[in-house]
Structure 1
Amino acid sequence: MSGEEEVPAAKRDTRGVLNVIGVHLYLEDPQGRVLLGLRHPDSLYAPSTHHFLAGHCEQESAVACLVREAREEAGLSIDPDDVEFVHAVHLLDAPGTGPRMQMVFRARRWTGTPEVLEPDKCLGWGWWHPHDLPDPTVDYTRTAIHAIKAGRLYTELGWA
């Protein structure tokens, strides 16, 4: 015997690693183009890269977070009743990082024109055709857009 006592299964820590929940706005204009923002070059995540309007839940529902973030980041007003879930990306971005569940919601209607309200996070908003996305675009954003167009609800990235 090694002198180490086996810990009974009932006493093992089974909490594991918590997943961060992110929410993302999928907006399509009448021409079928998708709204993406160009992230600030000083951003900790994906600097100078195009990405969905997005945020993290702060003791609120995912839809409430999406509505808040759209108003705060781009001046868009969205009624929660006009929001539908369209895709989830369960992501392990890089070795040593925590897992993230990225939830993507489509707003069927909204009011306002996207404007830069947080210039320290986003340099500008633009509309892009799903098959002609700008370079660079965040990998899971590109993956989610193509999956939404194909009618798929779920993608896993980085787990293998």
Structure 2
Amino acid sequence: MADLPAIAGIYEGYVRTSTATFELESPDLAEWTRRFTAITDAGLPFLVAEVDGRVAGYAYCSPWKTRPAYRRTAENSIYLAPWSTGRGVGGVLLDALLSRCHENGIREVIAVVADPERNPASPALHRRRGFDDVGVLRNVGYKHDRWLDTLLLQKSLI
């Protein structure tokens, strides 16, 4: 929880300047605390990577859907500090996240990549870790005066 201010700062940059998230307002520290608690209380991982003592990025899984039949499926999220991209941090986070998911009984992990044409690093990272493309949802988000697609990728952990 001590890293939540740094996490909030990283995410705020994505909210304000990118289409990597469909959020339009940056969550405050109280909301980040609520999210962290909900994720960890659900038995799902929330991980932080540090480089040279600074938060370089974070990754977590959240429930894919709330209905009980989906309880072994999770959605992953990874965000990196701008200075840490291209240094392998995303891969380390995703590997650790998948390992923790497997240990916690998660069977399927879904990645929802917003605006994949302008965010090609995320699909590439997931594909290198064995995720398969399973669909595209067209024009499902509107941000920065554009309609945006999401790419769905899936990895089985069994």
**TM bracket, shorter-chain basis:** under 0.3
Tell which has more relative contact order, 1 or 2 (C-alpha 8 A, sep 6+).
1
TM, length-normalised to structure 2 = 0.28
TM, length-normalised to structure 1 = 0.28
Give the strand-richer structure, 1 or 2. 2
Give the helix-richer structure, 1 or 2. 2
Larger Rg: 1
